[in-house]
Chains A and B, each alone.
Chain A
Amino acid sequence: DSGVTQTPKHLITATGQRVTLRCSPRSGDLSVYWYQQSLDQGLQFLIHYYNGEERAKGNILERFSAQQFPDLHSELNLSSLELGDSALYFCASRGQGVYYGYTFGSGTRLTVV
């Protein structure tokens, strides 16, 4: 157990639907990062939050949004889902200081049918 909790582990939904992925960071970590991993695109950075504030945005589609709540858990909302959104979505948290590595959750596997 890495200390980063992601739910649900698996999600199957239809095109056009909306889903919410949840992440609880490791205790004491203020930073949360979201990544999408697909076979053809590798690991794509989506967004970074630090203590409730958005710090950096990567290749995140306009149909996707995220937020970090006061208790530091984060949610990634994916709407108007398309078949191409099927992927593994990872959340990671990080200790303070740029020398720390990420601690990853086990991911949510999203399948859009």
Chain B
Amino acid sequence: GNSVTQMEGPVTLSEEAFLTINCTYTATGYPSLFWYVQYPGEGLQLLLKATKADDKGSNKGFEATYRKETTSFHLEKGSVQVSDSAVYFCALSDHTGNQFYFGTGTSLTVIP
């Protein structure tokens, strides 16, 4: 079956620190992979995506590379800001597109 495993939170970092949030997946076939961000009181917003192996998704300084050999899609940012404080969800979509499979979310707090 399909599933996504994310690193447990919460994560607290100082401003300008390096961020990594680990995500691994299990899927049949060739899924598309996504990172979503949820700010307090809001819905989920697409942060970045990758649709095939070795693709790198990037947006707003965040990056993630689709690694088929390690079934991973880790989220990274070189220098976090206070405004990056949010909950981050890793997700996959299988070839049918009938359902997204979400990780449990990782809460990030960035302190000045």
Q: Which residues of A contact B (CB under 8 A)?
A: 2, 4, 31, 33, 42-43, 45, 48, 55-56, 58, 90, 92, 94, 97-99, 101-107
Selected from B43, B97, B99, the residue in CB contact (under 8 A) with A45 is: B99
Most chain B CB atoms below 10 A, which of A4, A42, A43, A92: A43
Selected from A33, A48, A92, A101, the residue in CB contact (under 8 A) with B49 is: A101
Residues in chain A near residue B44, CB distance under 8 A: 90, 92, 102, 104
> Residues of B within 8 Å of A, CB-based: how many?
23
Residues in chain A near residue B96, CB distance under 8 A: 56, 98
Residues in chain B near residue A104, CB distance under 8 A: 36, 43-45
Across the interface, do B43 and A98 meet the contact criterion of CB distance under 8 Å?
A: no
Selected from A98, A103, A106, the residue in CB contact (under 8 A) with B97 is: A98
Within 8 A of A (CB), among B66-112: 89, 93-102, 104-105
Complex CA distance for A56 and B44, rounded to whole angstroms: 21
Selected from B34, B45, B100, B105, the residue in CB contact (under 8 A) with A33 is: B100
A101 with B98, Cβ < 8 A, contacts A43-B89, A90-B43, A106-B42 known: no
Complex CA distance for A42 and B36, rounded to whole angstroms: 14
Across the interface, do B97 and A94 meet the contact criterion of CB distance under 8 Å?
A: yes
Across the interface, do A98 and B93 meet the contact criterion of CB distance under 8 Å?
A: yes
Selected from A2, A31, A42, A101, the residue in CB contact (under 8 A) with B43 is: A2
Complex CA distance for A2 and B42, rounded to whole angstroms: 11
Across the interface, do A48 and B43 meet the contact criterion of CB distance under 8 Å?
A: no
Complex CA distance for A92 and B98, rounded to whole angstroms: 12
Interface status of B51 (Cβ within 8 A of chain A): yes
Residues in chain B near residue A31, CB distance under 8 A: 97
Residues in chain A near residue B98, CB distance under 8 A: 48, 55-56
- A sample of 23 inter-chain contacts (CB < 8 A) reads A2-B45, A4-B43, A33-B100, A42-B104, A42-B105, A43-B105, A45-B99, A45-B102, A55-B98, A56-B99, A58-B99, A90-B43, A90-B44, A98-B96, A99-B32, A99-B51, A101-B93, A102-B36, A102-B44, A102-B100, A104-B44, A104-B45, A106-B43
